[in-house]
Amino acid sequence: MEHKLISLADARPGMRIAADVCGPSGDVLLAAGAVLSGVTLSALARRGISQLEVVEPLSPEERVARIAAIDQRLDVLFRHAGNDPLLRKLRGVVRGYRVEKL
């Protein structure tokens, strides 16, 4: 996941937050992973937030490469799993989770 620091003026609804946005006293206003909406954007403006880190969407080629890297690592981790049905299922669940997060 590529991160990019942008000013609040450039932030748009639908963008995903890459790192917790904290207020001046250190309290978390918006947690990493949250998707911006019009409401959250005006709330951040009211709290005096001027910039935030967002996730840059992947290009189709990058996405394919990321999925290949996920599968490659899972091949190593599950190399002794054989046809064990539970481990196959576990691998599927972890892969699904990783791909969904891209």
Partner 1 sequence: MNNGSTMEGVLACVGQLPPLSAAVVEVLASFERKDVDADEIARKISLDQGMVTRILRVANSAFYGFSGKVGTMHEAIVLLGFHNIRSLVVAAGLIRQFPPREHGQFDHNLFWRHNIGAGVCARVLASRLGKDGELAFTAGLLHDVGRLVVEVVCPVKSDAVALHSADHDTTLLEAEHAILGADHAAIGFGAAKRWNFPAAIQLAIRDHHQPGQESGFLADVVHVASVLCHALDIGNTANDCVPPLSPDAWQRLGLHWEAIKYCLPEIERQNAAASLMLGD
- Give the residues lining the site for partner 1 (CB under 8 A): 20, 22, 25-28, 31, 33, 73, 76-81, 84, 86-87, 89-91, 93-94, 96-97
CA torsion through residues 6, 11, 17, 21, sign: positive
Backbone angles phi, psi at 16, to 5 degrees: -105, 135
Minimum gap (Å) between residue 60 Cβ and partner 1:
25
Rounded Cα distance, 88 and 76, in Å: 13
Nearer to partner 1, 46 or 80 (CB): 80
Within 10 A of 73 (CB to CB), how many other CB atoms are there? 13
Minimum gap (Å) between residue 12 Cβ and partner 1:
24
Nearer to partner 1, 8 or 74 (CB): 74
